[in-house]
Amino acid sequence: MSQEQVEVIAIDGPTASGKGTIAGIVAQRLGYHYLDSGALYRLAALTCLDRQVDLLDEAACAKAASDIEPIFRDGRIELFGRDVTEAIRAEIVGITASKIATLPSVRQALFDLQRRAKKAPGLVADGRDMASVVFPDARLKVFLTASAESRAERRYRQLIQKGISANLTSLTEDLAERDRRDRERKTAPLVPMPDSRILDSSNLTIEETVETVLSWWREVNQ
Ligand code: CDP
């Protein structure tokens, strides 16, 4: 199978919409590879933080992004010989990722790494610009949303479960700020494509959301 023939399901959406969970399960059910593109932005952000890079210095941020060679193994992520699986989930890393993601040369630096994830038998890719920029050829494009309240609550529960203290009010403000940055940036803004299918998961369980994506997948393959 040539790389062009490999099937891609793109799942884009705002912060804390549940993309990662849904994309991971869909990939598992289909026996496909899974690309968490947000993790790459987080790895680049962690590298910027470790190097104490000035986030307004685009060249230095892009250098940090192009230096990463992460190893994904058994659900763990290793970067420069260190296990950073938990470290990249910290809120400060998410906020920094959202800031450097507005820089075109950072996005460019991560482009090939993302394209290389397209491998047989198929790929489920989650992010903000999977359908618009990285895999415009995806056979199925899903735009996964949820109301701001349910996303803030989900993120809150996620953090508390991990033993990280969180405050719902500041989380809600933080998510709104990240949404604004994702939607308003000039390069690869978060928008559904004309051929994206919109899925609002506010009142759906994980299983119902997964089932909807899988039923759309069966439909496009008929
Ligand atoms: O956890 P959360 O949904 O907030 O974000 P994530 O998917 O882990 O991605 C971290 C940040 O990277 C996001 O806030 C986005 O600004 C950025 N990102 C992006 O710009 N493009 C992507 N394809 C993936 C993430």
- What digits encode the pLDDT tens for the residues 25-49? 999 999 999 999 999 999 999 999 9
The pLDDT-based confidence of 91 (bands split at 50, 70, 90) is confident
User: What's the confidence (pLDDT) of residue 146?
Assistant: 93
Beta-bridge partner residues of 198: 143
For the chain, the domain total comes to: 2
Residue 133 lies in a domain: yes
* Separation CA 117–CA 10 (nearest Å): 12
50 by Cβ neighbours in 10 Å (0-12 / 13-18 / 19+) ranks as middle
For residues 112 and 128, membership in a common domain is answered with no
For residues 113 and 193, membership in a common domain is answered with no
Is any ligand 1 atom within 6 A of the Cβ of residue 182? yes
Residue 1 lies in a domain: no
For residues 112 and 73, membership in a common domain is answered with yes
User: What's the confidence (pLDDT) of residue 19?
Assistant: 93
Question: Atom 18, ligand 1: which residue's CA is nearest?
Answer: 38
Question: Atom 6, ligand 1: which residue's CA is nearest?
Answer: 38
- What digits encode the pLDDT tens for the residues 115-171? 999 999 999 999 999 999 999 999 999 999 999 989 999 989 988 988 888 899 999
Q: How far is the CA of 1 from the centre of ligand 1 (A)?
A: 30
* Separation CA 42–CA 100 (nearest Å): 9
The number of angstroms, rounded, from the C-alpha of 197 to the middle of its chain's C-alpha atoms is 17
**What's the pTM value of the predicted model, to 2 decimals?**
0.93
The number of angstroms, rounded, from the C-alpha of 112 to the middle of its chain's C-alpha atoms is 16
User: Pairing state of beta strands 33-36 and 7-12?
Assistant: unpaired
Question: Atom 25, ligand 1: which residue's CA is nearest?
Answer: 38
Domain extent at residue 182: 7-32+122-214
CATH number, domain containing residue 15: 3.40.50.300
For residues 106 and 54, membership in a common domain is answered with yes
